[in-house]
Amino acid sequence: MAKVKSFVNNPYQENTYLLYDETGQCVIIDPGMYTATEQNVVVNFIKDNNLTPVLLLNTHCHIDHVLGNKFVFDKYGLKPKFHIGESDTLAAVVSYAPQMGIRYEVSPLPDEFLSETGSITFGDTILHLIFAPGHSPASLCFYDRETNILIGGDVLFRLSIGRSDLPGGNFTQLVDNIENKLFRLPDDCTVYPGHGPETTIGYEKQNNPFLN
């Protein structure tokens, strides 16, 4: 069974996630580490729990989710994996980071991209890919069926949804993906979003004001 550890990072208060299981292998998802302090907290958790990072995943490539990509590559030799449809989104970070007063160390590019469907594995854990664009052009969510958890990026939040007014965003598409893909998951599935507290699929079905 996979365990989840979250870290709140950078000026955008982004959730960086570490998934790990009894094999000691772990996956770093959306590394937003920005300061040395933030970097050390993640590195120390990995060290203290004798974990071995084997994958670096990005749900999508907005600045707050990729700030730590270069650090993870330098530290653990891992290049990110994301959907090829996020390539332009990642490339754009270089030009807009300075305007936002953010120091951005350029992310390495993937050796291989993730597909819209299928799965990716580490240790004894299988993460199923759910393609859910709308907040960004090619967002992916990662679902662990055995543990019944979803690492959702900025698609669905507690009582909210991702903004759709950024380049490549589409409100109708976003809502459609949430209602037709995410809401097919079990009601008691825990959703770990890119910002804010976790929630469940059932809670959002009942209470999210953006969804029917």
Looking up tokens 């893909």 gives 181
Give the tens place of pLDDT for each residue, 175-205.
Answer: 999 999 999 999 999 999 999 999 999 999 9
**Could you state, in order of their start, the residue ranges of all structural domains in the chain?**
3-207
CB 124 within 8 A of CB 21: yes
Give the tens place of pLDDT for each residue, 94-118.
Answer: 999 999 999 999 999 999 999 999 9
pTM as predicted: 0.98
CA atoms of 87 and 193, how far apart (whole Å): 21
Superfamily (CATH) of domain 3-207: Ribonuclease Z/Hydroxyacylglutathione hydrolase-like (3.60.15.10)
Segment 105-132 mean pLDDT = 98
Among 37, 59, 46, residue whose Cα is nearest residue 19: 46
